[in-house]
A and B are shown apart, each in its own frame.
Chain A
Amino acid sequence: EPEVTQTPSHQVTQMGQEVILRCVPISNHLYFYWYRQILGQKVEFLVSFYNNEISEKSEIFDDQFSVERPDGSNFTLKIRSTKLEDSAMYFCASTRQGYEQYFGPGTRLTVT
């Protein structure tokens, strides 16, 4: 069964460094998302992406964040200058028709 994959599973970075989180959505899906979950808290929406452009972004998704679909398979989230409060689990999700979203296993980001 096709699934969403994410790499790396765990990323440790120093404050102020740039990180890129990678996702490979399910191949025939058209809509892509990033969510984050701070430990012990609920899952929060960051951004949605369709037809090579951002569809919607949350207040969290400020100028430090960017997304890209550099080729036909990858979907990336870049954080330009990480802060301590960016430490969280980051989930990529995809869907074909904007219906039920399938989540990847997540990338745990630790900013020290």
Chain B
Amino acid sequence: AQTVTQSQPEMSVQEAETVTLSCTYDTSESDYYLFWYKQPPSRQMILVIRQEAYKQQNATENRFSVNFQKAAKSFSLKISDSQLGDAAMYFCAYRRGNTGTASKLTFGTGTRLQVTL
């Protein structure tokens, strides 16, 4: 069974600074996808970024980027120029298999990010 581990229950960053959230996963699959979801106090789950395992290039979405280390099974999220609106719970998630299937997401336990002035 696949597992996702987020070892940082809480992190804090000052506004405009950079922070990195860690995630490791365990799988025997070769084809999979990884995601970061943001959950603000409203508890809505918002997709932040995705990474296809077959791509060597790290995904980037504006101020959000990932460091995907396939051999180490590590998938960290870097938030640059942190803003107050980035304060939220961040969940790392894993999905096995190809597109065209109904594979579930397996989530980590989350990291609560605080952004301070």
**A-side interface residues toward B, CB under 8 Å?**
31, 33, 35, 37, 41-45, 48-50, 55-56, 58, 89, 91, 93, 97-103, 105-106, 108
- Interface size for chain B: under 10, 10 to 19, 20 to 34, or 35 or more residues? 20 to 34
6 tightest A-B CB contacts, nearest first: A55-B102, A103-B45, A48-B102, A45-B104, A97-B99, A43-B107
Residue B101 at the chain A interface, CB threshold 8 Å: yes
* Bound form: Cα–Cα A93–B46 in Å: 11
Residue B103 at the chain A interface, CB threshold 8 Å: yes
* Bound form: Cα–Cα A59–B25 in Å: 21
Which residue of chain B has the shortest Cβ distance to A39 in the bound complex? B43
B99 with A98: CB separation less than 8 A: yes
Which residue of chain A has the shortest Cβ distance to B106 in the bound complex? A45
Q: Number of contacts between A and B (CB, 8 Å)?
A: 68
B100 with A103: CB separation less than 8 A: no
Contact A42 to B99, CB < 8 A, known contacts A100-B50, A106-B43: no
CB-contacts of B24-50 with A (<8 A) = 33, 35, 37, 42-47, 50
A48 with B44: CB separation less than 8 A: no
Main secondary structure of the interface of A (DSSP, over half): strand
Which residue of chain B has the shortest Cβ distance to A37 in the bound complex? B43
Which residue of chain B has the shortest Cβ distance to A101 in the bound complex? B105
The residues of A that contact B104 with a CB separation of less than 8 Å are: 33, 45, 48, 56, 58
Contact A100 to B101, CB < 8 A, known contacts A42-B109, A45-B106: no
The residues of A that contact B95 with a CB separation of less than 8 Å are: 101
* Bound form: Cα–Cα A108–B107 in Å: 19
A42 with B102: CB separation less than 8 A: no
23 pairs of residues in contact across A and B, judged by CB atoms under 8 Å: A31-B102, A33-B102, A33-B105, A42-B91, A45-B104, A45-B105, A48-B102, A48-B103, A48-B104, A50-B102, A89-B43, A93-B45, A97-B100, A98-B97, A98-B98, A98-B101, A100-B35, A102-B47, A103-B44, A103-B46, A105-B42, A106-B43, A106-B45
- The 0/1 profile, CB within 8 Å of A marked 1, for residues 56-74 of chain B is 0000000000000000000
